[in-house]
Amino acid sequence: MSSMSRRDLMRAATGIAVLAAAPRFAFAQAAAPAAGPFAVPPLSYAFNALEPHIDAKTMEIHHDRHHAAYVANLNNLAKTNPQLGTSAVTDILGNLNALNDDIKFAVRNNLGGHANHTMFWQIMAPDGGKPEGEVLAAIDKDLGGLEKFQNEFNAAGGRQFGSGWVFVTVAKDGKLAIETRPNQDNPIMDGKRALLGNDVWEHAYYLNYQNRRADYLKAWWNTVNWAKIAERYAAAKAGTLGA
Ligand SMILES: [Fe+2]
């Protein structure tokens, strides 16, 4: 029989209650971005809409916590640097060297992360169709056809060491190229534009795929929203594609 006093029992029970409450408290903090000019765009589909290729829990954590953290950091930066909230994202990311050294690194990572993820949610959808028209013609012309393109894109994403992205960049003349970037860098930082991109940070796939990044890269094609990519391609050629 335990010799715990009533006080010990109370203390133990309180400790359990605190432990049980702690994860919820931490989640609430992480999920509530600081008020400010930046916001996480809502998904146009449910968290489970991309299953079985991307599971609902991964989508929820990715969107509501990882993307939200970049946005919260940006809103904190904007408190002391309000120009961040009033300038176009493309202008800021395209001129990072114009920023003061004390915020350059944080803006690169967090605004890059915001731009990358905003694009990422848009260019995915359930039943996203197939490439057609001008986009398919450009894939055939510049990337050797759909199958070769997808294989090379997957290989590039697999080679990206550590965290980063694999993109298809689009030039103003419509020319396409496969390019990778580390961390949350975006082609805008080099005066280019991303037509599409896949997130190869482990947070994008680890719950379902663990270390099998190649399987995630292959399955991801089932989630691609080709109608949105056609819109982005037309905008790129018109010089109006944002982030
Ligand atoms: Fe991500």
149-170 per-position pLDDT tens digit = 999 999 999 999 999 999 999 9
- Band (11; pLDDT cuts 50, 70, 90): very low
- pLDDT value at residue 34: 63
Query: What's the gap in Å between 142 CA and the centre of ligand 1?
Result: 27
Q: Residue 182 pLDDT more than 60?
A: yes
Query: What's the gap in Å between 117 CA and the centre of ligand 1?
Result: 6
Name the residues around ion ligand 1, CB cutoff 5 A.
199, 201
Q: Residue 108 pLDDT more than 90?
A: yes
Query: What's the gap in Å between 216 CA and the centre of ligand 1?
Result: 13
- pLDDT value at residue 32: 53
Query: What's the gap in Å between 70 CA and the centre of ligand 1?
Result: 10
Contact 127, 164 (CB under 8 A): no
Query: What's the gap in Å between 203 CA and the centre of ligand 1?
Result: 6
Spatial distance between the Cα atoms of 22 and 224, rounded to a whole number of angstroms = 37
- Band (29; pLDDT cuts 50, 70, 90): very low
- Please return the burial class of 56, using the count of CB atoms within 10 Å of its CB with bins 0-12, 13-18 and 19+: middle
Over range 159-182, report the average pLDDT: 97
- pLDDT value at residue 115: 98
Query: What's the gap in Å between 158 CA and the centre of ligand 1?
Result: 15
Query: What's the gap in Å between 23 CA and the centre of ligand 1?
Result: 22
- pLDDT value at residue 7: 45
Q: Residue 30 pLDDT more than 90?
A: no
Q: Residue 9 pLDDT more than 60?
A: no
Q: Residue 217 pLDDT more than 70?
A: yes
How many secondary structure helices (H) and strands (E) does the chain include? 11, 3
From residue 20, give the alpha-carbon distance in Å to each of 3, 6, 13, 23, 29: 25, 21, 11, 7, 16
- Please return the burial class of 36, using the count of CB atoms within 10 Å of its CB with bins 0-12, 13-18 and 19+: middle
